[in-house]
C-alpha cells in the first residue's frame, strides 16, 4: 500500500507500486478491469482514468505483450459516451498503446461455474477476459448499499456481458449478490489488484455516496487479502462483509499472513460511514 | 435516403440478434431479408441476443418482431410472429407474481416501484426493466396487437420514470435518492409511450427537455440516434440540431461505429426518422 494524496502524483505512485508488486507480465497479455459504472460530475464513482492509464503504461514498461482495458458497465449501454464523459477515453488515447474492449458486447464463451453457491451451472463470459494471461482487478474503494463494500471481488460483476444478461445483470441479484460475487471470483481468476483509494467513497455507494480522501493506492497479488485490507482502511470489519467470509478460501484473509510493503495501513485507516440501509 | 451509415451497414456481419434486427430494419428498402432472423428463432418462440447461448431475451425478441413487421411478407413469418408474441405473453417480470409482489411491498422497499405494474425482464426469472419493456411495447404496436399486458407495461414505464423526466435502466428512486436518467433508455421509453398514445403530458415534456439538453453536446452516435428517433414525435425544437450532429458524426466515423449504433443512425437519418411503432 502506497500513500497517494492526489491524482497528480498517481502516475509515479502506480509505477512505484508496480515495481514493488513485480507482476509476472513479461510477454503476457493483460486485461485491466477497472470499475466504470456511470458518469457523475460530483461523486467519485469510477476508478480514476489517471490510475488506469498509469497502470497500462507501467505494465508495458514491465514487458507486457499487450494490455487491454475492459469493462462491461452494469447500467450503461452507451460505453462510448461513458468513456468520453469520465475521461478514460482521452487518458487511454494519451497513453497510446492501450486498447479498450466493451465486455458487454464482446464475443462470449460458456464457462462452467465452480461452486454451488448459485443455481447457475454456467456463465457466458467475454473472450477478452478468458483469453488474457493475466487479469488485474482495479476497483474504486467504495461502500456499497447491497454488498457492504465494492472492491476487487465485486468488481467482477462488470465482466458479465450485458448482451447476454441485460442491463443491469439482474440474474446475479436474483442468485444473491454475495453468492454471485464469490461464484464469479471462483470462476474467473484475479491475478492482481490495483485499488484506487486516492479519493474513495463512503455512504450510499456505489453511485450516491460521498467522496472521502483516503490517500492511497493498494497493490496486491491476492484479491481476498486486498479486499480485507481495504475494509480495514475504511474501518469496516471484514467479518461483516458476507462475500468476504464466503470467499475466504479464494485467498488469504488473515492479516498476520500477509507480506506487507510500503505504508502501514494503521497510518491511513479511517472510519467510513456505510449506507444506513445495510 | 441512402447515407454513409447505410453504405457502411451493408458491409457489416451482425454478431448479435440486436444488430441483425436493426440492420434488417435499416436496410429494409435496399436489401430486404428475414431469412436469417427466422432461422435464429428459438423453439420457445423467443430470440436470444447471442444465439450461441440460446438464452431467451425479451428485448431482442421485441426487436426481431419489429424487424419482421417491416420486411417482406412470407408465409413462415406469420407463424414466427405468433410464436414470438406467445412467448412475450407468458414472460413477465418476476414482480408480476403475487409472492414477489408481497416481498417487494413488505420487505424489499429500498427501491421505490409499484410491483403491480410490470412489463418485461431482459431474461426469464428476473424483474422488469425499461429497455425490454419499451421494445416489447413497440413490437405490440408495430403489429397492432392487442394484449392485456400492454396497459400494465405502459403503467410500469410511467411508474419507473425519473423525477426530472426520462428513464435509466429501471428505477427512478432508490435508497432515498432520485436517480439520473440516461439518454438511450429515456428515448426507448418515450418511443413506446408515444407509439401507444400514452404517457402523462408533463412526463413526456420533461423527458423531451432532458433529451434535448443532454444530447446537445453528445458525441455518441448511439445516444444521438435514439434521441432523434424519440424526439421526432414530441419535439421539433432541438431535433434539427441533433440530426445535424448525428449526420456529422456518422459521416466522419461510420467505419468505427458498432453495427447497432450504425443501424440506429441510419434509421434516425431517414426523412422522416423511422417510427419503431409502425409496420410497413
pLDDT in tens, B28-58: 998 888 899 999 999 999 999 999 999 999 9
Instruction: Flag whether A277 is in a domain.
Output: no
Mean pLDDT of chain B: 92
- Give the best residue of B21, B182, B250 to mutate against chain A (max A CB count within 10 A): B182
Contact A204 B170 (CB under 8 A): no
Helix residue spans in chain A (DSSP H) = 10-21, 49-61, 79-86, 88-95, 127-131, 162-165, 170-174, 177-187, 223-234, 242-246
Contacts of B73 (CB under 8 A, 6+ apart): none
Q: What is the pLDDT, as a whole number, of residue A120?
A: 94
In the predicted model, is pLDDT for residue B113 greater than 80?
no
For every residue of chain B, which 3-state class applies, written as one string? CCCHHHHHHCCCCCCCHHHHHHHHHHCCCCCCCCHHHHHCCCCCCCEECCCCCCCEEHHHHHHHHHHHHCCCCCHHHHHHHHHHHHHHHHCCCHHHCHHHHHHHHHCCCCECCCCCCCCCCCCCCCCCCHHHHHHHHHHHHHCCCCCCHHHHHHHHHHHCCCCCCCECCCCCEECCEECCCEHHHHHHHHHHHHHCCCCCHHHHHHHHHHHHHHCCCCCCHHHHHHHHHHHHHHCCCCHHHHHHHHHHHHHHHHHHCCHHHHHHHHHHCCCCCCCCCCCC
> In chain A, how many domains are there?
1
Q: What is the pLDDT, as a whole number, of residue B152?
A: 96
Give every residue of chain A whose pLDDT is below 70, as ranges: 276-278
Instruction: Flag whether A82 is in a domain.
Output: yes
Q: What is the pLDDT, as a whole number, of residue A277?
A: 61
Instruction: Flag whether A276 is in a domain.
Output: no
Q: Which residue of A has its CA nearest to B122?
A: A166
Q: What is the pLDDT, as a whole number, of residue A87?
A: 96
Instruction: Flag whether A274 is in a domain.
Output: no
Please give the average per-residue pLDDT across B114-133, as a whole number: 94
B184: contact with A, CB 8 A cutoff: yes
Whether complex ipTM tops 0.90: yes
- Give the best residue of B12, B13, B53 to mutate against chain A (max A CB count within 10 A): B53
Q: What is the pLDDT, as a whole number, of residue A39?
A: 87
A165: contact with B, CB 8 A cutoff: yes
Q: What is the pLDDT, as a whole number, of residue B72?
A: 79
Contact B50 A168 (CB under 8 A): no
Instruction: Flag whether A53 is in a domain.
Output: yes
pLDDT band, very low/low/confident/very high, at B1 (cuts 50, 70, 90):
low
B76–chain A nearest CA distance, Å: 27
Nearest to A76 among B57, B175, B182 (CB): B182
Q: What is the pLDDT, as a whole number, of residue A278?
A: 55
pLDDT in tens, A192-235: 999 999 999 999 999 999 999 999 999 999 999 999 999 999 99
pLDDT in tens, A111-125: 999 999 999 999 999
B261–chain A nearest CA distance, Å: 9
- Give the best residue of A81, A108, A121 to mutate against chain B (max B CB count within 10 A): A81
In the predicted model, is pLDDT for residue B174 greater than 90?
no
Measured CA to CA in angstroms, residue B188 lies from A59, A244, B107, B172 at distances of 41, 38, 31, 15
Please give the average per-residue pLDDT across B85-110, as a whole number: 82
Q: What CATH number should be reported for the domain holding residue A161?
A: 3.40.50
Q: Are B54 and B21 in contact (CB under 8 A)?
A: no
CATH of B4-268 among 3.30.720.120, 1.50.10.20, 3.30.70.1560, 3.40.190.10: 1.50.10.20
From chain B, the residues in CB contact with A78 under 8 A are 182-184, 220, 222-223
Which cell numbers in the block locate residue B114? Answer: 409499484
Nearest-10 crossing angle of helices B58-69, B130-142 = 20
Q: What is the pLDDT, as a whole number, of residue B236?
A: 64
Q: What is the pLDDT, as a whole number, of residue A80?
A: 95
**Residue range(s) defining the domain that contains residue A128:** 2-267
Tell which residue, A112, A83, A103, A122, has the closest CA to residue A163.
A103
B226–chain A nearest CA distance, Å: 11
Amino acid at each position: 500500500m502506497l500513500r497517494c494524496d492526489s491524482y497528480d502524483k498517481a502516475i509515479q505512485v502506480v509505477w512505484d507500486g508496480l515495481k514493488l508488486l513485480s507482476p509476472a507480465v513479461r510477454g503476457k497479455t493483460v486485461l485491466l478491469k477497472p470499475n466504470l459504472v456511470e458518469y457523475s460530475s460530483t461523486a467519485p464513482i469510477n476508478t480514476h482514468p489517471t490510475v488506469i492509464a498509469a497502470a497500462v503504461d507501467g505494465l508495458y514498461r514491465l514487458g507486457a505483450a499487450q494490455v487491454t482495458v475492459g469493462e462491461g458497465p452494469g447500467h450503461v449501454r452507451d460505453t462510448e459516451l461513458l468513456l468520453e464523459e469520465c475521461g478514460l477515453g482521452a487518458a487511454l488515447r494519451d497513453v497510446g498503446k492501450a486498447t479498450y474492449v466493451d465486455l458487454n458486447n464482446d464475443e462470449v464463451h460458456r464457462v462452467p461455474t465452480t461452486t454451488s453457491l448459485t443455481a447457475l451451472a454456467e456463465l457466458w463470459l467475454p473472450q477478452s477476459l478468458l483469453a488474457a494471461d493475466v487479469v488485474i482487478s482495479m476497483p474504486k474503494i467504495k461502500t456499497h448499499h447491497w454488498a457492504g463494500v465494492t472492491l476487487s471481488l465485486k468488481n467482477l460483476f462488470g465482466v458479465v456481458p450485458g448482451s447476454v444478461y441485460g442491463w443491469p445483470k439482474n440474474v446475479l441479484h436474483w442468485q444473491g449478490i454475495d453468492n454471485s460475487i464469490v461464484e464469479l471470483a471462483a470462476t474467473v481468476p484475479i491475478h492482481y489488484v490495483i485499488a484506487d483509494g486516492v479519493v474513495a467513497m463512503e455512504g450510499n455507494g456505489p453511485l450516491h455516496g460521498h467522496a472521502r480522501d483516503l490517500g492511497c493506492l493498494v497493490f496486491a497479488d491476492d484479491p481476498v487479502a486486498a479486499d480485507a485490507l481495504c475494509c480495514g482502511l475504511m474501518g469496516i470489519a471484514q467479518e461483516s462483509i458476507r462475500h468476504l467470509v464466503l470467499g475466504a478460501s479464494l485467498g488469504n484473509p488473515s492479516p498476520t499472513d500477509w507480506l506487507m510493503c510500503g505504508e502501514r495501513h494503521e497510518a491511513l485507516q479511517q472510519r467510513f460511514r456505510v449506507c444506513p440501509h445495510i | 435516403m441512402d447515407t454513409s451509415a447505410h453504405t457502411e451497414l451493408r458491409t457489416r456481419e451482425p454478431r448479435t440478434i440486436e444488430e441483425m434486427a436493426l440492420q434488417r430494419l435499416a436496410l429494409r428498402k435496399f436489401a430486404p431479408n428475414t431469412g436469417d432472423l427466422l432461422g435464429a428463432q428459438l423453439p420457445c418462440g423467443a430470440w436470444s441476443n447471442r444465439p450461441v447461448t440460446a438464452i431467451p431475451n425479451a428485448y431482442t425478441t421485441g426487436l426481431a418482431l419489429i424487424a419482421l413487421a417491416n420486411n417482406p411478407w412470407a408465409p413462415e413469418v406469420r407463424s414466427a410472429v405468433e410464436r414470438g408474441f406467445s412467448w412475450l405473453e407468458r414472460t413477465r417480470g418476476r414482480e408480476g407474481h403475487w409472492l414477489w409482489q408481497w416481498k417487494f411491498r413488505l420487505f424489499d422497499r429500498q427501491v421505490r416501484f409499484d410491483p403491480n405494474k410490470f412489463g418485461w425482464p431482459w431474461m426469464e426469472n428476473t424483474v422488469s426493466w425499461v429497455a425490454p419493456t419499451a421494445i416489447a411495447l413497440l413490437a405490440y404496436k408495430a403489429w397492432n396487437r392487442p394484449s392485456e399486458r400492454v396497459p400494465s407495461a405502459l403503467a410500469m414505464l410511467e411508474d419507473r420514470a425519473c423525477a426530472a423526466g426520462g428513464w435509466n435502466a429501471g428505477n427512478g428512486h432508490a435508497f432515498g435518492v432520485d436517480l439520473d436518467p440516461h439518454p438511450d433508455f429515456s428515448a426507448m421509453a418515450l418511443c413506446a409511450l408515444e407509439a401507444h398514445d400514452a404517457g402523462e403530458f408533463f412526463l413526456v415534456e420533461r423527458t423531451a427537455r432532458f433529451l434535448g439538453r443532454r444530447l446537445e453536446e453528445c458525441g455518441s452516435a448511439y445516444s444521438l440516434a435514439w434521441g432523434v428517433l424519440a424526439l421526432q414525435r414530441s419535439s421539433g425544437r432541438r431535433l434539427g440540431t441533433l440530426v445535424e450532429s448525428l449526420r456529422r458524426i456518422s459521416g466522419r466515423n461510420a467505419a468505427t461505429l458498432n453495427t447497432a449504433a450504425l443501424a440506429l443512425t441510419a434509421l434516425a437519418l431517414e426523412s422522416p426518422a423511422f417510427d419503431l411503432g409502425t409496420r410497413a
